[in-house]
Structure 1
Amino acid sequence: MRQPSLSRRSFLRTSAAAAMVAGTGFHSLASAAESKSPNELLDIACIGVANRAAENVRGVSGQNLVAMCDIDDNYLNQALKQYADKKSNRYNDFRVLLDKEKSIDAVVVSTPDHTHAPASMWAMQLGKHCYCEKPLTHTVHEAREMTNYAVKHKLATQMGTQIHAGDNYRRVVEAIQAGAVGDVTHVDVWVGKGWGGGTIPTDPPPVPKNVHWDLWLGPAAERAYSPVYMPAQWRRWWDFGGGTLGDMGCHYIDLVFWALKLKYPTKIGAEGPSPDPNTAPLGLTVNYTFPKTDVAPAVTMRWRDGDHCPREINGQAVPGSGVVFHGTKGMMIATYGDFKLLPEDKFTDWKAPEQTIPRSIGHYEEWIKACKEGTPTTCSFDYSGPLTETVLLGNVAFRTGGPIEWDAKSLKVTNNDSANQYIERKYREGWRI
């Protein structure tokens, strides 16, 4: 049975919280600090509870989990049983959850990419703090909208790039910014995954009784259910995900953004197979150009994934996924867990700079603390929004079939108007942010 459509306008109108949206009652970081002491527990709603989402639920499980939402009843039942002591209210439709759970302080959004923005934006419009999985959004336009809204209304936000809280990334950032390899002029980033390929099923089976397929589609165009999309294969499909770049770009390019203080690229080109209108490629190369920052000159960055991944760079064997910073004094190979300066004989006497970036209290803990006390997070939407835009622009360049020139201020591709169709998207009735 199809779920009834609920438009954004009627959602806000029927919610008592609409008065907050129409007036000045947004939960700012300051008001959060006034209403919650460090020892009080947050009232959190979890939108998405299984697979990747299960880890996010666990990460905030020390708080009050007042509501859980998932389109799969089996997943929802399992999560409610696991956290039975929380006595969480159950929902299949996050719009209904947001309408009814008026007293929640915050939401954790762990849905597929195409519903990140509707769930997160509607929650923020009701004054709720927001933790959202990576990539922050499905489109560039959504990323900018969510970034601007969170900053304007002083909401505590965090994108789910959990590796950002690791010690190794901090040591890499300190070393690069201290000039370990000199001025960085080029960076290689690669990930040995291949989320791509596939054809639309022609003989779809019935929708399982436990799956609310219409709610899973959310803002995406209607199509028949098939198990080829769930639980993770949706990443291959443009209507739902962004391929390998969309999946992993925010994790690995994050290190480059942090170390070089990057924000928006000015030019993006992509190489790969002929673009498919439905699915991402099995391998992709994207070349980005960034303007200079206060810690780096103008820099180029090359992303490669799937069957485009390198086995060596500059004659040096490299791991399956990683980052190489190319500087005027040498290069650094970095992964999630370690880094190496090359050529090794040149850096035998190298000493790491003083540690200036403090140890993280934990990725989830940062956000929880921010919700309660107004403290900053390291992956707030004003940082992770531009990072997400950069990642998604790589897919725009690929689907356009040629280099694009990007005007970040106007949010437009200036050299190829046809590329702008991929900056925004059409929403199914009842799902527009």
Structure 2
Amino acid sequence: MANHLNRRDLFRRMAATSAALAASGLPAWAAPKSANEKLNIGIIGTSGRALGNIDGVKGENIVAVCDIDDLLLGRASDQFSAAKTYVDFRKMLEEQRDLDAVVISTADHTHIPAAVMAMRLGKHVYCEKPLSHFVSEARLATKVAAETKVATQMGTQIHATDNYRRVVELVRSGAIGPISACHVWCGKTWSGGERPKETPPVPSTLHWDLWLGAAPARPYHPTYQPANWRRWWDFGSGTLGDMACHLMDLPFWALDLRHPTSVESEGPPVHPETTPHWMVVNYEFPARGDAPPIKLTWSDGEKRPSQLAESKLPAWDTGVLFVGEKGMLMADYDRRILFPEADFRDFKAPEPSIPASIGHHAEWIVACKTGSPTTCNFDYAGALTESVLLGNVAYRLGQKIEWDAAKLKATNCPNADTYLQREYRKGWAI
């Protein structure tokens, strides 16, 4: 695997790219004026989170749209009347030789089959979070991206906000001293349910077998699609998979985290079909240079870090808490507070040093055209996704994992392989 780009160097390069674009007289996002300079983009998935992603790239040439639901596909076709329509992304990628890039906003289990195929065909890829459904898939995506050298970006859109930048600067400035613990929590929950016994007819507009893709075959039921697939192990990754790439992104960025050395999870009894309504995951990350090892704890559903009550901190439903020798820093998407507040009454924040984002989607578009870096490329996003999904692996195994990231192995538990990777249905192998 290629060495990952130092995050500070990445931002220096992005700033240089932005400066060059400004000097050229082009707008900040560098959208070319003539149609033939625009990217030819294919859209895979057109509803839900896809709507925001489509909005982020609609200034380019949308030449193909793909969805497994004819009704949704028709709506997308109405918006992009010149685009060719598909129900099978494999056919789209095989036929549309003029594609420069694709945007993938499907259910988790389809992310990597689509992304890897696209990258191997030389297409730039924007893919929603979590990057993959299995740990091994994230590693494969990282490897293929490095080999093909295409521009990649995972859809952690909050990474582009000013608030995240200011939090990263506070952490790196030493405002709360060396940090050895971090708590991340989310009150959301995707959980529960038994496999339905009834088999209602497949809606006339839905291509059910194509929606299943690489996942094991099962009869259609509306409890799976749309949206609720997130709580089924075969298709989604529960609350952890849905939200941790957004929230754990902040400590990963601020603390330069990469791979944990161990992962241990707790929650209600494991269900073979569906994800739990709460989970607590303890990650241990090694020292990075002079920075001490980090214990990062994820809590979701009804669980909250005990520090919120013990330290009389605000009862936010979602947040990140950095615990340092000199104090604590609490943040969410658009807030940040230093504690104890009395100790930081006269504190002066460091001058901003991380350049403002040109926009999460715009960053990727510029990268497709110029080769400039993106901040959530598959090297960074792959490691983040691997760590996130290891929490589910430890939970389903019911034991602590000692993790060897180089070998992609749980050294103390050979059975972990069952949950690190999967077999693909015939016709869907990567």
Compute the TM-score of the two structures, normalised by the length of structure 1: 0.90
Higher mean C-alpha deviation, range 231-240 or range 416-425: 416-425
Give the structure 1 partner of residue 419 of structure 2.
422
Residue 120 of structure 2 corresponds to 125
Deviations 1:115-154 (A, max 9, x none): 0000000000000010000000001101001101111221
2:270: which partner in 1?
275
Amino acid at match of 2:263: I
In the other structure, the counterpart of 1:10 is: none
Segments of structure 1 that go 5 or more residues without pairing to the other structure are: 1-32
| Pairs within 5 Å for 1:232-271 | 232-271=227-266
Paired position in structure 1 for 2:184 = 189
CA RMSD of aligned residues (A): 1.6
The whole-number CA distance in structure 2 between the counterparts of 1:158 and 1:37 is 25
1:54-103 CA-to-partner distances (Å, cap 9, x unmatched) read: 1111110000000000001111111111233xx11000000000110011
Shift in alpha-carbon separation, 1:333–1:295, aligned structure 2, 3 A: farther
Measure how far apart 1:313 and its partner are.
Answer: 5.3
- The reply to whether residue 83 of structure 1 matches residue 80 of structure 2 is yes
The corresponding residue for 1:3 is none
What residue number does 1:161 align with? 156
Which residue of structure 2 lines up, in the alignment, with residue 225 of structure 1? 220
Q: How does 1:288-307 map to 2 (within 5 A)?
A: 288-294=283-289, 296-307=291-302
Correspondence list, 1:297-376, <5 A: 297-310=292-305, 312=309, 314-376=311-373
Residue identity in the other structure for 2:109: H
Q: SS at the partner of 1:316? A: coil
Q: Shift of residue 296 of structure 1?
A: 2.6
**1:316-374 CA deviation, whole Å, 9 max, x = no partner?**
23300000000000001101001000000000111111211000000000000000011
Superposed CA deviations along residues 27-66 of structure 1, whole A, max 9, x for unmatched, are xxxxxx9xx9998100000000111111111110000000
* DSSP-derived class of the 2:316 partner: coil
Number of corresponding residues: 398
Determine whether 1:74 maps to 2:34.
Answer: no
Alignment of 1:169-188 (within 5 A): 169-188=164-183
Q: How far off its partner does 1:231 sit?
A: 1.2
Q: CA deviation at 1:309?
A: 3.0
How far, CA to CA, are the matches of 1:404 and 1:314 in structure 2? 30
Seq. identity, %: 55
Asked if the contact 2:120–2:148 (Cα under 8 Å) also holds between the matched residues in 1, the reply is no
Structure 1 residue 416, shift from structure 2 partner: 1.1
CA contact 2:46–2:76 (8 Å) conserved in 1: yes
In 1: Cα distance, 2:365 partner to 2:87 partner: 25
Confirm whether residue 380 of structure 1 aligns to residue 377 of structure 2: yes
Structure 2 distance, partners of 1:38, 1:138, is 36
Aligned to 1:64: 61
Q: For 1:380 and 1:59, locate their aligned partners in 2 and report how far apart those are by CA, in whole Å.
A: 17
User: Which stretches in structure 2 are left out of the alignment for 5+ residues?
Assistant: 1-29
- Does residue 95 (structure 1) correspond to residue 93 (structure 2)? The answer is no
Using the alignment, how far apart are the partners of 1:67 and 1:96 within structure 2? 11
Q: Please tell me the residue identity of whatever aligns with 2:294.
A: V
The separation in 2 between residues aligned to 1:54 and 1:313, in whole angstroms, is: 41
What is the aligned partner in structure 1 of residue 429 from structure 2?
432
Residues 220 and 427 of structure 1 are in contact (CA less than 8 Å); yes or no, is this contact kept in structure 2? Answer: yes
Shift of 1:204: 2.0
